[in-house]
Structure 1
Amino acid sequence: MRYDVYRDHVQKLDQAGDLVPDLPPSFVKLLGKSSILNMRASFHAGLTPQHRRIRSKVMRALAPAQVLQHRGGMQQVSRRLLEDLASASQSGSAPFEPIAKSFAMSISARLIVGEELSGEFLPEMESCFADILAGVLSPPVDLGRFSTFGRAMQARRKLLPLVKKMMAHPAVSRTALGELLLAGEEGEPLTLEEIVDTVVTLLLAGQTTTKDALVQLLVDLHKHPEEVQLIRAESEQDFGSIEQDSHTLRVIKESLRLTPPVSAFRRACPDRAVSLGEAGVVPAGCSMAPLLKDLDDRSWNPARWATLPLDHLLVFGGNQPHSCVGRHLALLELQIFVRELCGTYSFNVLEAEAQSMMGLKCWKDGLPVCLERL
């Protein structure tokens, strides 16, 4: 359904906790029952205490001030990966998708376990997550190592001892994982099960959004080269705040508006039918999928973000209880990477042909590009 139909007829039910997430069975199983994406949610205190407790701790761990502390590390990772890409493309071209994937995974790991621990645990986390991601949209048939979903479940079980090791490390107190271990106004520290489910959720959300958004952003910059010079002029600017107005941020928001990495979220109302006004009625228990893509204006115009309100960026879920807790992290990652790219390199996308693999968007030959240092 269009987002305005959701806003006018369904959003109040979502905010009241009457709707439940409606995700594929394999997705639900791999995220875990304590994932905030699998729980009924509500803006009203007392109705969904576990969801509110976990979500509030995650939001504290990913608050703007916490995320900004990692901008130096993000810049270092960006520079290293872009240098690797430039070197690899000297023979003609190199795929950009693996670079975007490595960037998203490295930053997610740094936020969760910190820079000190990410070097020690990152290879194993990447290995586990690759199997988990492959199983997310596969048939939920667990045949151990003989099925994609079975291998994903095995990888998920490997995360339990890995998280225990990270929790026992003294450096964890300065990480997002450390925030989850603290008691506070939101309640007791998260249990081990809640922490594992939250780690899987953060890795999955960070990978499937930032990676796809970064690749699409490169394609959009290739289509609109006039934006590169304007971003290049801002490449040395620091960040007073993550959502401080800049041309870089306007371009990112315009790319997300036109091609959101997650184009819809699925809900169901198990107890009763939902009226959509003139659009009809959704029977009880049936899926509803509010679209996050702007269907009214498909023109490219970053200048619109000089006046549009922040909550117009529906890619992060709009005003509903499952709005993206990683909003600030994603926006900072994208700004840092694209400024480093435009400020240091000239680039050319050789072929931009979107494809689909297991229902997930990908690009032919990994989106071949050529980079040259300015």
Structure 2
Amino acid sequence: MDTTTGRPASAGARPGATSRSGSSPASGSAPDLADPGFWQLPAPARAAAFAELRRRPTPLYVGDRAGGRGYHALVRHADVVEASRTPAVFRSAPGVTTPEPPRWVRALFGDSMVNLDDPRHAQLRRVISRAFTPRLLSGAEDDIRRVATRLVDVVERDRPEDFVTAVAAELPFQVICNLMGIPERPRRAILDQVNHASEHTGVARPLRSRLRVPGRGLAALARMQLMVAAIGRRRRSAPADDLITALVTADVDGRRLTGRELGAFFSLLLVAGVETTRNALAHGLHLLTAHPDQRALLLDDLDGRLGGAVDEMVRHATPIIQFRRTLAVDHELGGPGGPLLRAGEKAVLFFGSANRDETVFADPDAFDIMRTPNPHLGFGGGGPHYCLGAHLARQEMKVLFRELFTRLPGLRSVGGPDLVPSNFDNRVRSLRFTF
């Protein structure tokens, strides 16, 4: 589905058209997923290209396999799940982004959890999971309601024009800062650093025909990590009832987060938690506007259907488009006799394509809030790297949409979202709205 127009993803695609600038591939030919021009195509053309890739008997290899450059494009639901749940074969290190973070960056800023494998990943995840106590999570749910109520108060009073800056970005940012215990004073500066650090993630460089490395805003990242590391040092001597205190004082098998690990986790939580939820909320509002029948279904039973609606928004929009893995050993995909992926080669997991797999989802391009089952991979394909914040993101979306549509039932987007052409995330720069 094209979330800009509300048309099915097959509409508007032109079979037979092809060019070096990323135009739709001819039937049976392969699109160049490494070409920034491909990611600037209209959503229907890209969806049609991925549908063609899913029909191929083996995964497309993008790049020069003989020269050791490139990757296997995993576009089917089953293949993405297999790669996600077989971490001994599909390794996250040295990095899941494209290209991988340089060694000096990892040495300076620390390794993000998404780029780690066991046993280090398991150790960090145990510390962080133990810090998310029932009491902390219960307080977070109460806080989500308070933040959502305050944001809708502002919308009613000030009638802002951009849903992204006024609502969709503000909710997850404030909730995460409250959860972590970040003081009010540095929050605006931190949000500026988040936006600067992530603004070019997966976006084509204006003067070069290749994609930017996620995290190019290294100075912004450094400032953000220094801020939270300083707060962590203060919490060790003066504990508070917040997540930073829990992370720096936790003792799990003699392990707690160091200042650098805390900074790396905070950066991941902000960039991943804020950006992905922001984009899912913005796409969700526009999808409900573009599909009045689904909106009517939702408003007819808001409490009963909101959970299903949120999952369908996440499936349909798929905030994170792709992650990369490195083969640790030779592996036959799908079992004996399957395509052979060799040790050292790369595989890219295309979550957006997996979420439109015709063998898993009936009428996959339709936006259907009653879809059941809905085994989408919007939070990952399972396994050790399944999103830690999935529950929090779902709660944020459910609480906000409940507050919005209870108090402002006429809320709707105006025109389509202003999308950032990216190969990494399905990013919305702005979305006009009214009520």
Q: Deviations over 1:45-69 (max 9, x none)?
A: xxx1x21121122223346653231
Distance change >3 Å, CA 126–CA 12, structure 1 → 2: closer
Distance in 1, matches of 2:130 and 2:312, equals 27
Deviation at 1:288, TM superposition (A): 1.3
The residue that corresponds to 1:24 in the other structure is 98
Correspondence for 2:176: 108
- Work out the CA distance in 2 between the residues paired with 1:138 and 1:33: 24
Q: Secondary structure at the match of 2:434?
A: strand
Alignment-derived partner of residue 14 in structure 1: 87
Instruction: Please give the alpha-carbon distance, in whole angstroms, between the structure 2 residues aligned to 1:58 and 1:325.
Output: 9
Aligned positions of 1:7-156 closer than 5 A? 7-8=81-82, 10-11=83-84, 13-15=86-88, 18=91, 20=93, 21-25=95-99, 29=105, 32-41=109-118, 48=119, 50-62=120-132, 66-89=136-159, 94-98=161-165, 99-113=167-181, 117-134=182-199, 136-137=201-202, 152-156=217-221
- Are 2:380 and 1:317 aligned? yes
Summarize the alignment of residues 157-196 of structure 1 with structure 2, pairs less than 5 Å apart: 157-167=222-232, 168-169=234-235, 173-196=240-263
- Aligned partners of 2:308 and 2:370 also within 8 Å: yes
Aligned letter for 1:257?
R
Deviation at 1:36, TM superposition (A): 0.6
Pair 1:340-2:403 in alignment: yes
**Structure 2 counterpart of 1:247, which letter?**
R
Partner of 1:280: 339
Once residues 37 and 335 of structure 1 are traced to their aligned partners in structure 2, the CA distance between those partners, rounded to angstroms, is 26
Paired AA for residue 212 in structure 1: N
Percent sequence identity over aligned pairs: 20
1:231·1:343 contact (CA, 8 Å) conserved in 2? no
Distance change (3 Å), C-alpha of 1:150 and 1:57: closer
Q: Aligned pair 1:222/2:289, yes or no?
A: yes
Deviations 1:256-292 (A, max 9, x none): 12221113322111x4333225763334333212233
SS in 2 for 1:325: coil
SS in 2 for 1:289: strand
**Contact 2:196/2:220 (CA < 8 Å) preserved in 1?**
yes
- In 1, the alpha carbon distance for the partners of 2:279 and 2:180 equals 20
Give the secondary structure class of the aligned counterpart of 1:181: helix
Contact 1:265 1:291 in 2 (8 A): yes
Matched position secondary structure for 2:370 = helix
Whole-Å Cα distance in 1 between the matches of residues 201 and 420 of structure 2?
Answer: 15
- Cα 1:183–1:162 shift into 2, 3 Å: same
Q: Does 1:368 align with 2:426?
A: no
Mapped to 2, the partners of 1:357 and 1:258 lie a distance apart of 17
* Inter-partner Cα distance in structure 1 for 2:204 and 2:419: 21
Higher helix share: 1
**Other-structure match for 1:144:** none
Q: Is the 8 A contact 1:267 1:287 kept in 2?
A: yes
1:4 aligns with 2:78: yes
Go from structure 1 to structure 2 and tell me whether the alpha carbon gap of 1:354 and 1:161 turns closer, same or farther (over 3 Å shift): closer
What's the CA shift string for 1:118-164, capped at 9, x where partnerless?
A: 42331222122222223544799xxxxxx999982222222344224
Matched residue of 2:321: which SS? Answer: coil
Instruction: Give the whole-Å Cα distance in 2 for the aligned partners of 1:39 and 1:173.
Output: 29
Aligned residues: 336
Q: Which blocks of at least 5 consecutive residues in structure 2 are unaligned?
A: 1-73, 206-211
SS in 2 for 1:304: coil
Q: Tell me the CA shift for residue 189 of structure 1.
A: 1.4
Distance (Å, rounded) in 1 between the aligned partners of 2:262 and 2:300: 42
8 Å contact from structure 1 (residues 232, 342) kept in 2: yes
Instruction: Determine which of 263, 266, 276 is the counterpart of 2:324.
Output: 266
Aligned residue type for 2:412: N
Instruction: Answer yes or no: is the 8 Å Cα contact 1:58–1:325 preserved in 2.
Output: no
Q: Deviations 1:219-269 (Å, cap 9, x if unpaired)? A: 12213334545655666x7xxxxxxxx311011011112221113322111
8 Å CA contact 1:248, 1:335 repeated in 2: yes
Q: Partners of 2:339 and 2:285 in 1: how far apart? A: 39
Contact 1:137-1:358 within 8 A present in 2 as well: yes
